[in-house]
Amino acid sequence: MTSSRNKKGRSALLLLPAAGAAVFSAGVRELYRYSFTRSGSPLVSLLKGERKTHEEAYYTWRDVRKEILKAAPQIRMSILSDRGERLAGFYLPCENSDGSRIAFIVHGYGSEHAETAGMVLDYWHSRGFDVFAPDNTAHGESDGEIIGFDLFESADALKWIEYLKTRTEKPLQIVLHGFSLGGASVMKMSDQIGPEVKFIVEDSGYTEAESLLKASPLFRTLKLVHRLMTGKVLADTDVRPNLSRASVPILFVQGTDDPTVPSENAPALYDFYQGPKEKLILPDTRHIEGMYTAPEEYAAKIDEMIGKYIH
């Protein structure tokens, strides 16, 4: 009897490493799905619980404007990404538009075009700009499963600009206006754009994605998985090499109470950037809330940029 029990005990011990490896693999898979994919991980979401980063009044304000945008006259467009994904874009002309002035809105992580562009649609239309707002890869009506944290998104936005240029023979004047991941994306593009982009507004964009993701358990393993899945290195999300080569005017915007992207990002990026620049640091403002908490101040600052750089 003793010998039989010992054999069973040894067998159980041999199973422990395999069981541990299985649990580790499952954990990595779910964390990767949660952080990097459209479908996410219901398990991780359940374990983390609901986490709201804004007051309810902000969500109500934002969602009303989202529905206004969705109901507005618009032209639906599509292109193929370099990865073969079909991307959806939405063009909303203002009254008496000649099609030459476009505000190009880039949304953030986990969002979609209407939710973000709705917050600034009235502003840009009132200044005589058409609004173009794409759904990023793996968001909204665009194809794709994996989120690029500014690498895919910036490359796709550059393709969209080339597409917009084919729609008219008139010289375009484009303003890139990006929020959060979209803010990082427009900074990532800053050294690759043509003269049609007159200035950039980056709102609550991050310097690089790695620092935002380091809170995830198994971060090093997730980085390796992401590289194997995409061929991309997360360190390449750093926008500073692009900014060091850029000369386009940039307005850096951030709230002092941002719980998502550290509030020192915009001031640090402003100090780092050597091209024409302005900054707008808004007190008592959370992530991408500027048009909600300080609409007049926000509008006045962009108006200054329009006065300087738009003909």
pLDDT digits (tens, 9 = 90+) for 97-145: 899 999 999 999 999 999 999 999 999 999 999 999 999 999 999 999 9
Q: Same domain, yes or no, for 239 and 158?
A: yes
- Total tally of structural domains belonging to the chain: 2
Residues 6+ apart with CB under 8 A from 236: 151
> What pLDDT is stored for residue 18 in this prediction?
56
Rounded to an integer, what is the distance from CA 33 to the centroid of its chain? 17
Dihedral over Cα of 51, 57, 62, 64: its sign: positive
Residue 14 has pLDDT above 70, yes or no: no
Does residue 228 lie in a domain region?
A: no
> What pLDDT is stored for residue 20 in this prediction?
55
Q: Same domain, yes or no, for 12 and 88?
A: no
Q: Same domain, yes or no, for 302 and 156?
A: yes
> What pLDDT is stored for residue 215 in this prediction?
74
Q: Same domain, yes or no, for 138 and 29?
A: no
Q: What is the pLDDT of residues 148-188, one digit of tens each?
A: 999 999 999 999 999 999 999 999 999 999 999 999 999 99
Mean pLDDT of 4-29: 58
Q: Same domain, yes or no, for 112 and 153?
A: yes
Least confident of 18-32, 49-63, 106-120, 147-161: 18-32
CATH number at residue 181: 3.40.50.1820
Does residue 32 lie in a domain region?
A: yes
Q: Same domain, yes or no, for 9 and 120?
A: no
Domain that holds residue 32: 1-50
Does residue 226 lie in a domain region?
A: no
Q: Same domain, yes or no, for 57 and 198?
A: yes
Residue 299 half-sphere exposure toward CB, CA atoms < 13 A:
15
Q: Same domain, yes or no, for 109 and 44?
A: no
Greater confidence (150 vs 47) lies with 150
Least confident of 47-61, 74-88, 211-225, 282-296: 211-225
Residue type, 204: S
Q: Same domain, yes or no, for 271 and 124?
A: yes
* Angle 68-73-79 from CA coordinates, rounded to 5°: 105
> What pLDDT is stored for residue 46 in this prediction?
81
Greater confidence (22 vs 281) lies with 281
Which residue pairs, CB below 8 angstroms and at least 24 apart, start in 84-87?
A: 85/137, 85/142, 85/143, 85/144, 86/142, 86/143, 87/134, 87/135, 87/137, 87/142, 87/143, 87/144, 87/156, 87/159, 87/160
> Predicted confidence band at 48 (pLDDT cuts at 50, 70, 90)?
confident
Does residue 224 lie in a domain region?
A: no
Q: Same domain, yes or no, for 35 and 130?
A: no
> What pLDDT is stored for residue 43 in this prediction?
84
Can you tell me the distance from the alpha carbon of 143 to that of 82, in angstroms, rounded to the nearest whole number? 12
Q: Same domain, yes or no, for 3 and 65?
A: no
> What pLDDT is stored for residue 220 in this prediction?
86
Residue 16 has pLDDT above 50, yes or no: no
> Predicted confidence band at 12 (pLDDT cuts at 50, 70, 90)?
very low
Torsion-angle region of 97 (φ positive above 0: left; ψ -120 to 50: alpha; else: beta): beta
Contact 233, 43 (CB under 8 A): no
Share of the chain above pLDDT 70, in %: 92
Q: Same domain, yes or no, for 82 and 8?
A: no
Residues 6+ apart with CB under 8 A from 16: none
